[in-house]
Amino acid sequence: MTRTPLIEQLLYISTVSPNETVDLATILATARRNNRANGITGLLMYNCKRFLQVLEGPADAIDATFNRIRRDTRHRGQVLLARKTIDQREFGDWSMDFRGETNQDADALYDTICAKIANASPNLRAELTAFASQI
Ligand SMILES: Cc1cc2nc3c(=O)[nH]c(=O)nc-3n(C[C@H](O)[C@H](O)[C@H](O)COP(=O)(O)O)c2cc1C
């Protein structure tokens, strides 16, 4: 009998490094390429100061990916907020394009984020909406 590999979900927050101009497009391109290859899905939120990222995937891929992310000097103060095993991915698509644009309607952005995270567990949803409300 083949067993479905366990999926782990990890949530961390970090701060943009001083004097760093965030090139979100480059970060996203690398993340999408690697994550697709490694069976990782998730969500990345960015509010011009902090990143909040959810990663989901097989435990060894999560470890390897988070170790790379942790060493990345574009951000610092990475704090692991939660890590748990889940039955089913909550972010099946790797979509990571939330950012706080100064000219964007904050309420509209907040609504978009709330819709996107509707399938997340209550605890995770609370973390993500709290972050989104600061954008
Ligand atoms: C906020 C942030 C989020 C990132 N997210 C991912 C990610 O989800 N997956 C990933 O492989 N790399 C991610 N990276 C990039 C990694 O830190 C690292 O640069 C990259 O994995 C190296 O891959 P490469 O050897 O293919 O260039 C992220 C970087 C930052 C700053």
What would the pLDDT profile of 85-135 be if each residue is shown by its tens digit? 999 888 876 655 555 544 456 666 667 677 767 778 888 888 877 877 776
Confirm or reject: Cβ of 69 under 6 Å from ligand 1. Answer: yes
Confirm or reject: Cβ of 84 under 6 Å from ligand 1. Answer: no
Q: What is the mean pLDDT of the chain?
A: 84
Give SS3 for 13.
strand
Give CA 60 to chain center in angstroms.
Answer: 17
| Dist CA 23 CA 94 (whole Å) | 18
List the domains of the chain with CATH numbers: 7-98 (3.30.70.100)
Indicate which atom in ligand 1 lies nearest the CA of residue 75: 31
Alpha-carbon separation of residue 19 from 3, 51, 86, 114 (angstroms): 47, 16, 37, 31
CA of 70 to the centre of ligand 1 (A): 9
**Among 89, 96, 83, 76, which residue's Cα sits nearest to residue 30?**
96
Kindly report the pTM of this predicted structure.
0.85
